[in-house]
Amino acid sequence: MTWAMNNRTGHWHHSGSTLIGALISMLILSIGMGALFSMYINNTQNSAHSRHVTAALTYARARIETLRFDSGTNKLPLSGSEQLQDNNTLFQRSWLTRENSSQDTRHITVTMRWQDSSGEHQITLETMINTATATDLAFLEP
């Protein structure tokens, strides 16, 4: 940067300051944009994770409900695993039931596993059902 006096006005000015100013601005802008981009990526990942957990909860809940109402007919195996495609994400749904014949109860655990850009994730839901539902139904009959 060089400083020179304007002959007509007598003011000092520096030539090349516009270029350096622009470069500094570009530097600040690029640092700021970099930080913002990183934040944007983070937000996108968090948003995708939330969406995946919500979808996984829905699938897990659906399996629990199926097992609850299937307790009389036993169409579904007591334990199993299957893959589900939701948009671009592949979910692994596994369920395990444990009978307690002395109390007429069945313990159900459903685990959802999936993988996304931030790694592997899983959620587990568990509940218990009363397998003596048929007794209730019989009671309804006149």
Partner 1 sequence: MTILANTYQRGLATLLFCMILLSSATTLVFTLARTSLAEHRIMANEYRSETRHLACETGLEYARAWLLNNEPAWQIDTDGHYTLSVPLPTDLLQQNSGIRVQIRYRRQDLNSPFIQIQVQASRDNHALYNIAQFVHYQPGNQNNTLARVLVVPGTWHDLGNE
From residue 50 to residue 89, the character string flagging contacts with partner 1 as x (rule: CB under 8 A) and all else as - is: xx-xx--x---x--x-------------------------
Q: Does 34 bind partner 1 (CB under 8 A)?
A: no
Within 10 angstroms of residue 129's Cβ, the number of other Cβ atoms is: 18
- DSSP assignment string, the chain: -EEEE-TTT--EEEETHHHHHHHHHHHHHHHHHHHHHHHHHHHHHHHHHHHHHHHHHHHHHHHHHHHHHTTTT--S-SEEEEEEEETTEEEEEEEEEEEETTTTEEEEEEEEEEEETTEEEEEEEEEEEETTHHHHHHHH--
Q: Does 4 bind partner 1 (CB under 8 A)?
A: no
# binding residues, partner 1 (CB under 8 A): 51
From residue 87 to residue 126, the character string flagging contacts with partner 1 as x (rule: CB under 8 A) and all else as - is: ---------------xxxx-x-x-------------xxxx
Please pick, from the candidates 8, 10, 88, 120, the single residue that binds partner 1 as defined by CB under 8 A.
Answer: 8
Give the closest residue to 98 by CA, choosing from 131, 139, 73, 52: 131
Kindly tell me which of 46 and 83 has the beta carbon lying closer to partner 1.
Answer: 46
Q: Does 32 bind partner 1 (CB under 8 A)?
A: yes
Please report, as ranges, the residues that interact with partner 1 according to CB under 8 A: 6, 8-9, 11, 13, 15, 17-18, 21-22, 25-26, 28-29, 32-33, 36, 39-40, 43-44, 46-47, 49-51, 53-54, 57, 61, 64, 102-105, 107, 109, 123-132, 135-136, 139-140
